[in-house]
Amino acid sequence: MTLRDLFPETDRIHIQTYGKGHAAYLPNVINGYTDRLENDDHSGADSVADLLAKHAAQRPFIQLLDQNDEPRRDTLMRVFHNGGTTLVGLLRAQTAAADHAARTTVKLPTVRHIWDVRSQTYLGQTDTLQINLDQQPRFLALLPDDPGTIRLQADTTVFPGATLTLRGVVGAEQPDGDTAVGHAIHVEVFSPDGTELEWHRRNVVFRGSAISVALPISLSAARGRYRIVVEHAITGAMSETTFDVIQK
């Protein structure tokens, strides 16, 4: 196989079948696109998208449509999956047009609970979301179930040198596993005088609804009542509980 086999025509756009695949020769379509994008010229983007859909069955997992219900080509989108949780980052290209907010329709493959992660704001349960995009980044979380509240439980007393296990539930009880809802929580522990114990500070990522965090208690821990505060990274939902360090 030679390049001539893949690209027999080089004076125009040409699609060549080869084996089970296709080779596309796209003069002045992909090359130069970055320069065109900087000038709000999106010519060529539709051609590439159409080819991917037709010959590779590749279509956007999430569609972004502009005010004319046409595909938005000036926005970088990154999609991350953690079990049943999908995180979507959106950032418009830094062009003259992006100085002004633009109405954008976000079309999802299925209905989800949608949260704005940066502002920890609930945006509703839907498969179609209307937002305004400017040059500020947007970060959305798509969840099959609303995390709701956090319920915590811990041992009421613990000796210095022991390990305290913090347990809890996020929202409705669900099994864990590869497809379970992914969560992230931030944990802080405060001493009896209200000082945060920074060595206990941590972010915990897990799947399913069950929280389980091991907190080793120092041998030199002062006696008294300690406070644990947990915050959900997506929703901002908070809960707290207490435990007492006692002497043997």
Answer whether residue 236 shows pLDDT above 90.
Answer: yes
CA distances to 100, 166, 170, 190, 200 from 187, in Å? 38, 10, 14, 10, 7
Looking at per-residue confidence, does 16 or 115 come out higher? 115
pLDDT tens figures, 122-153: 999 999 999 999 989 999 999 999 888 999 99
Q: How confident is the model at residue 241 (pLDDT cuts 50, 70, 90)?
A: very high
**Confidence at residue 209, expressed as pLDDT on a 0 to 100 scale:** 93
**Confidence at residue 123, expressed as pLDDT on a 0 to 100 scale:** 96
Q: Which two tokens stand for residue 230?
A: 């947990």
**Confidence at residue 127, expressed as pLDDT on a 0 to 100 scale:** 97
Q: How many other CB atoms are found less than 10 A from the CB of residue 15?
A: 13
Contact 54, 24 (CB under 8 A): no
Q: 127 with 165, same domain?
A: no
Q: 65 with 83, same domain?
A: yes
Number of domains in the chain: 3
Helix (H, G, I), strand (E, B) or coil at 202: strand
Q: How many other CB atoms are found less than 10 A from the CB of residue 126?
A: 14
- Compute the 3-state secondary structure of the chain and give helix, strand, coil in percent, each to the nearest 5: 10, 50, 40
Contact 127, 108 (CB under 8 A): yes
Q: How confident is the model at residue 3 (pLDDT cuts 50, 70, 90)?
A: confident
Answer whether residue 7 shows pLDDT above 90.
Answer: no
pTM of the prediction? 0.84
Task: State the residue for tokens 């920074």.
Answer: 198
Q: 126 with 90, same domain?
A: yes
Q: Which two tokens stand for residue 125?
A: 């349960």
Q: 139 with 196, same domain?
A: no
**Confidence at residue 155, expressed as pLDDT on a 0 to 100 scale:** 87
Count the alpha carbons within 13 Å of 84 in the hemisphere toward its beta carbon.
20
CA distances to 24, 46, 54 from 13, in Å? 7, 14, 16
**Confidence at residue 232, expressed as pLDDT on a 0 to 100 scale:** 97
d(CA 21, CA 67): 35
For the chain, first and last CA: distance in Å? 79
Here the CATH number for the domain that contains residue 140 is 2.60.40.1180
Mean of pLDDT values over 183-199: 97
Q: 70 with 54, same domain?
A: no
Domain limits for position 239: 150-245
Q: How confident is the model at residue 168 (pLDDT cuts 50, 70, 90)?
A: very high
Q: 166 with 228, same domain?
A: yes
Of 92, 127, 144, the residue at which a domain comes to its end is 144
Q: 164 with 241, same domain?
A: yes
d(CA 213, CA 191): 18
Of 122, 144, 166, the residue at which a domain comes to its end is 144
Q: 55 with 72, same domain?
A: no
Answer whether residue 178 shows pLDDT above 80.
Answer: no
Q: Which two tokens stand for residue 145?
A: 């179930």
pLDDT tens figures, 18-76: 888 888 888 888 888 888 888 888 888 888 888 888 888 888 899 999 989 999 999 99
One-letter amino acid for residue 247 of the chain: Q
Of 113, 144, 175, the residue at which a domain comes to its end is 144
Q: How confident is the model at residue 234 (pLDDT cuts 50, 70, 90)?
A: very high
**Among 100, 99, 97, CA closest to 38:** 97
